[in-house]
Chains A and B, each alone.
Chain A
């Protein structure tokens, strides 16, 4: 928090400051309402009947709430929603665990194990952040298809596990990790490996939570890669399924909206639970330095 400015004793200034503050609050509330409208529409349409959604006489609340939309979604044999949710969950969980493991080990090695070429390795890793990931999707598709991994969970998960961003965040964090704790472990005869697992990891839970949440949200929401690799219906993620439904004529609007609403529930839970860690993670990562 910045300290409030010292205020002038003159009453006109006081009135101006007070008016400014009131204006700011009104503006913030209005913007907050504007930002919440899409969420409200998602829930409103997800629980409305199709007639309510497409009615020219639009109402704030649907005439009746159709909780049955949820069961209709999962009972509809033309909509592989359960499978898509399962795929997305498996991918998001595996990607999160894998990324945390690989990137934290690499970040620790780069930050704490003295090695002549450590800086060169670090720049080679950092360099891949400059190559926008999306630009490599054509060659990556080529590689994955030549491995025979198209439409497999392997193909959806493995190539996304090597996040230079996550590695960078962990390295920055471990550079600032108190050395005394590690030194104590060293004196007790622990090597790098056991020091890492028994001392460093248990004392670094917040950064793991922050990076994990960001990775989980990214994996759950990613679209281009699953679209390219998940060609078979059985390999669809939630996002690919929703996108396919949106342009198909088969599915009805209320089912589509309830599907979209269902698809953000896992994320909202993760998000609300870990939100303060995301904020702390972004603030500590130094990406804006």
Chain B
């Protein structure tokens, strides 16, 4: 190879390093400033008694952590998360997979149905929560759910304020289901399109009946990687649930003590009246640790990264 002087100057090792940082540097710097520094600061704050201040000097060691773990409100918030994900993860998984399977087999109007199911993804949790709270599941006088149930002679229900039985879970779960199922449907559709048609032909030759047998022995195993990714995303997103809880359950008089997921609890602890940033940071660190353990555990359990057979 002959190098012109110009080319060797542009491709020289030193210049490449320089150009790498010209391209990557601004982004990396921003990430350090707005993700790594806050994380480190949060860990630092969590060891201090920091009410209303970001530069505290009252070192308390692990006190924030122990009081957080002994705090019923915090542990209840973890229970709320567990209940929430026990509802939302399987329902979203099944609905989005079912939608993908049905839409994928359509010969006509595929784009139309895909759009309809994906359209709610353009809606915010705030708007969706408003429709759910003030129109569909409105309390006693009006509201679609009570109207429709009324046709069948069912008594009116105050969906969001009834805690026994906890009807508010139905409201909370259906909002997220509506908003998110279309997005996960797209992920499953992408997975379905990568399955080789020859596998289906081979199955037909072997006498597998279209439907359940093919689904169980061909489609689902081939969707393994997608299914793992979808489950991981669903659990991580459930941990971060905030918008719909905040918008559905808070009223002008405040937020009810039941059904506070971790993020809602932390929001009120750290940024509520007390501005207890030390305690809030300890909670955030604990939450981050729990998420890391759950995520890594789940990835191990499912064998994430293992090649498909």
Tell me the A residues contacting B by CB distance below 8 Å.
1-3, 5-7, 13, 17, 20-21, 24-25, 27-28, 31-32, 35-39, 41-42, 45, 53-56, 58, 102-103, 105-106, 108-110, 113-116, 118, 121, 124-125, 128, 130-143, 145-146, 158-159, 161-162, 164, 167, 186, 189, 191-193, 196, 217, 220-221, 223-224, 227-228, 239, 242-243, 246-249, 253, 256-257, 260, 263-264, 267-268, 270-272, 275-276, 278-279, 282-283, 287-289
Contact = CB atoms under 8 A, between A and B. Distances in A.
A interface, over-half SS: helix
Interface string B108-150: 0001011111111111111111111111100001111001000
9 contacts: A1-B193, A2-B105, A24-B105, A42-B135, A116-B17, A131-B35, A192-B19, A239-B127, A267-B123
B284 A136 contact: yes
A162 B34 contact: yes
A249 B7 contact: no
A105 B24 contact: yes
Interface residues of B, number: 113
Nearest to B148: A58
B20 interface: yes
Contacts of B122: 217, 264, 267-268, 270-271
B83 interface: no
B190 interface: yes
A54 B132 CA distance: 14
The 9 nearest A-B residue pairs measured at CB? A109-B23, A139-B38, A139-B42, A106-B27, A221-B124, A3-B197, A162-B30, A115-B20, A109-B24
Given A118-B20, A138-B281, A253-B134, A239 B116 contact: no
A226 to B, nearest CB: 10
B135 A125 contact: no
B27 A221 contact: no
B16 A113 contact: yes
Nearest to B226: A288
Contacts of A128: 31, 35-36
A256 B130 CA distance: 9
B197 A134 contact: no
A193 B131 contact: no
A278 B204 CA distance: 34
Interface in B75-124: 99, 102-106, 111, 113-124
Interface in B219-236: 225-226, 229-230, 236
B144 to A, nearest CB: 7
